[in-house]
Amino acid sequence: MKTNCECLEKNEEWHFEEQLECWYAIRECASCTYYWEGPDHSKTNRSSPPLTGIVYKPNDAADKVDSIRNRPGQFLVYCYDEHGRYGSPVGFNEVKDIFQFCELNKFSHKKIKVISDDQINVLVQYGSYVFPKEWTQYN
Ligand SMILES: [Zn+2]
């Protein structure tokens, strides 16, 4: 699944998605004919916008919404970009919710780590599950 490319003609737009509390990308490339849009969970700082493409400023005057990043969770999911930077985590308690989150985001983040009690429980790299072993069947 293609979520980005290096073509010069690529069209990329960003806005801050308040409910997910992270930057959200819309990408379209005529050269390699793909369209993709989705959240970038490695970019969670609203005052630190992405450095590529067109960036729409967050509306600071907007009503505060309940962000998924404010939910407590036993498991913390960290997403990394291609430079090894990561955003603030999303908390989950249910394994099925973690799996769903990983499925949604595994191709658009270089790495996803799920941590609880200082242990890495799930590791996804380049869209593939590294462990737990039971999840590698979904690769
Ligand atoms: Zn392209």
139 residues of the chain, pLDDT tens digit each? 889 999 988 999 999 999 999 999 999 999 999 999 999 999 999 999 999 999 999 887 777 888 999 999 999 999 999 999 999 999 999 999 999 999 999 999 999 999 999 999 999 999 999 999 999 999 9
Are the C-beta atoms of 77 and 100 separated by less than 8 Å? no
The alpha carbon of 11 and the centre of ligand 1 are apart by a number of angstroms equal to 9
* Residue 119 half-sphere exposure toward CB, CA atoms < 13 A: 6
Q: What is the dihedral of CA 130, 90, 43, 41, to 10 degrees?
A: 50
The alpha carbon of 5 and the centre of ligand 1 are apart by a number of angstroms equal to 5
Q: In the chain, helix, strand, coil percent, each to 5?
A: 15, 35, 50
Instruction: Give the residue from 100, 93, 84 showing the smallest Cα distance to 138.
Output: 100
Domain ranges of the chain: 11-55, 68-138
The alpha carbon of 130 and the centre of ligand 1 are apart by a number of angstroms equal to 28
The alpha carbon of 8 and the centre of ligand 1 are apart by a number of angstroms equal to 7
